[in-house]
Amino acid sequence: FQAEDGIRDRSPSRGLGDVYKRQLYGDSNSDGTVNVSDIVLLVGAILNNGGSTDGVECGDTDANGIINVSDIVSIVNVILGGRVASYDDATEATIVISDNSLQVEADGLVQGVQLTLSHGADFSIDLVDAYISEYKTSDNMTTLVVVTDGSSSLNEIASINGNCKVENVHVASSTGNVTVEEKTIELANFQVDVVGPNPFNPSTQLNIVVPDAGYVSVKVYNLIGQEVASLVDGYMEASNSGYMVNWNAGNLASGVYIVRAATTGQISTQKLTLVK
């Protein structure tokens, strides 16, 4: 309950000796005030401790036993005096992954997003500029927290480079958790990516992303425009995850080569360097 003097009783039952009884709502560091220091602690609890409430019990504003982005949104709105956007809070949301971006699509205002992504070693991320934008990467897993000041809804989350998969997601409006109807929708453009070594000797691997079924051609050229290899020449079914293609250039001289992938109305190229 919330006492009239602003002190919150965190114990489920009075008289049980709960050490968190009658501490200030949202005061994660128990210094008697709610400010940005409390937010910093909660971000750290998410990024470093898996959302554990240990040591930040009063930051668990919804008392669900875990720290997540909804708790941060609650404290941001305590500090700033509430959101000012005039449209309704979201009730449903979807995370959208495209070739170079992460987005959230919702039916109203989204004030915060928390994601855990799995990815390869070549993955990189640049979060959108927001009131809070923090992430941590470890062992090919990235956890991020993005929260706005409530003046506008969050849409763009981050720019990304490389493939990733959403392992866990929390989306928050200004008043609580938002139902994520579909965890992710992946949108892909036709493209060729180098996933093997580059520079390489003598072999490397390419990934051909084919969002729509159709004829696909993948050829390799030297710098004077001569075709030196044909890797794909035929019909391919749609695949957002892509097709792995190996190229062995053991019969070619060291140098720079251009791989060109083409399908109806779309072309993608990459530069490869053979070093012997």
pLDDT digits (tens, 9 = 90+) for 64-123: 999 999 999 999 999 998 887 777 999 988 888 876 789 898 899 999 999 999 998 889
In this structure, which amino acid lies at residue 188?
Answer: A
Cβ burial of 144 (10 Å; 0-12, 13-18, 19+) is buried
Residue 186 is predicted with a pLDDT of 61
Residue 100 is predicted with a pLDDT of 79
Cα dihedral sign, 79-85-89-94? negative
DSSP category for residue 76: H
Res 258 pLDDT > 90: yes
Residue with tokens 């009884």: 21
Q: How far apart are CA 190 and CA 266, in angstroms?
A: 7
Give the tokens for residue 252.
Answer: 């070619």
pLDDT digits over 27-76, tens only?
Answer: 998 888 999 999 999 999 999 999 999 999 999 999 999 999 999 999 99
